[in-house]
Amino acid sequence: MHFPDSSTMTPPLNPDIAAAQLLIQNVSKVYYGRQTWVDKLLKQTSQDFVAIADINLQIASNTFVSIIGPSGCGKSTLLNIIAGLLRPSTGSIILNGEPIKGPGPDRGVVFQNYALMPWMNVAENLRFAIETVYPNMPLVQQKSIVHEYIDLVGLSGAEHKHPHELSGGMKQRVGIARALAINPEILLMDEPFGALDALTRGFLQDEVARIWEQQRKTVILITHSIEEALLLSDQIVMMTRGPAAKIAEVLNIPFPRPRKREELDQYSHYHELKAALEQHLSRETRAVEEARIRRK
């Protein structure tokens, strides 16, 4: 994939960009340090922190994109900017030709910690999200959508359970159903399986793959897992370490679909792609560790 710089980003001239559903243009994020009373006492200025710098990325409709990078590099920062939960310090994000100015029903978000309403049961959690986005939708229709998405994620029978009665895997099924029930154009997932045990993670990855085959929505998934990224993605975006993290490379994953976990290592280029991802992650993570040791 080729990333033109901003001076060449004139949409009508570049068919790739014209076809992009989501355009991330020169996005940077600086977290401004606040001066604490200790800083003032010691007459030191607080430090601003450049998390991500000059990120350019184009994402086409119906593509499954994973973002992989060392811990703390700015993956969540980027995803939250796309979600509209954070404002970029520079640059812009264009969705279907319109700049993103805040959160919207065109983007559904799945969080690692589920973020369910603890006092609402499964069905109520979904209906609440639907009602918030579509306040004028008749109740019968809302309930029918709730039913449809509970069924889609395999939770039929658990509609009336509250979050404390659910396993981690079931909670994340609710999180996925809730994000999809508002019918977003793009599903954003921030390490959705990070808190789950390996077996449950595998089940949920298979569920996401199955749902993606059915719906083919654009997905942006942040993950630590190379296997997960290879199993699910059309493209894998590798980020460098921070500060001022950038995109190192975008890998196209040409495996056929539907994919089978147990046949993954037989697809052509699997071993090269896996090795490239492993090398990148271990190099960047090692550099982060070395920098941390030097600071001590």
- 79 vs 84: CA distance, rounded Å: 9
Peptide bond before residue 11 is cis, with ω within 30 degrees of 0: no
Are 22 and 186 contacting, i.e. CB atoms less than 8 angstroms apart?
A: yes
247 near ligand ADP (CB under 6 A) = no
31 binds, among ligand ADP, Mg ion, none (CB under 5 to 8 A by kind): ligand ADP
Q: Which tokens belong to 22?
A: 């989501």
242 near ligand ADP (CB under 6 A) = yes
Q: Which stretch binds Mg ion (CB under 5 A): 7-15, 71-79, 83-91, 278-286?
A: 71-79
What character string, x for contact with ligand ADP (CB under 6 A) and - otherwise, covers 9-48? ----------------------x-----------------
CA 206 to chain CA centroid, Å, is: 17
76 near Mg ion (CB under 5 A) = yes
- 205 vs 223: CA distance, rounded Å: 11
Exactly one of 72, 105, 168, 202 binds ligand ADP (CB under 6 A); that residue is: 72
Which CB atom, from 55 or from 231, has the smaller least distance to ligand ADP? Answer: 55
- Helices (H) then strands (E): counts for the chain: 9, 10
242 binds, among Mg ion, ligand ADP, none (CB under 5 to 8 A by kind): ligand ADP
Which CB atom, from 51 or from 186, has the smaller least distance to Mg ion? Answer: 51
End-to-end CA distance of the chain: 39
Chain positions 178 to 217 lying near ligand ADP, rule: CB under 6 A, are none
What is the closest distance, in whole angstroms, from the C-beta atom of residue 232 to ligand ADP in the complex?
18
167 near ligand ADP (CB under 6 A) = no
Residues 6+ apart with CB under 8 A from 41: none
49 near ligand ADP (CB under 6 A) = yes
What is the closest distance, in whole angstroms, from the C-beta atom of residue 98 to Mg ion in the complex?
27
Please report the DSSP string for 81-125 in residue order.
Answer: HHHTSS--SEEEEEETTEE--S--TTEEEE-TT----TTS-HHHH
What is the closest distance, in whole angstroms, from the C-beta atom of residue 194 to ligand ADP in the complex?
10
125 binds, among Mg ion, ligand ADP, none (CB under 5 to 8 A by kind): none
Q: Which tokens belong to 180?
A: 């999809």
Question: Starting at the edge strand that comes first in sequence, how are the strands of the sheet with 20-31 ordered?
Answer: 49-60, 20-31, 90-95, 98-99
Which CB atom, from 76 or from 142, has the smaller least distance to Mg ion? Answer: 76
Residues that bind ligand ADP (CB under 6 A): 31, 49, 51, 69, 71-77, 242
Q: Which residues bind Mg ion (CB under 5 A)?
A: 76
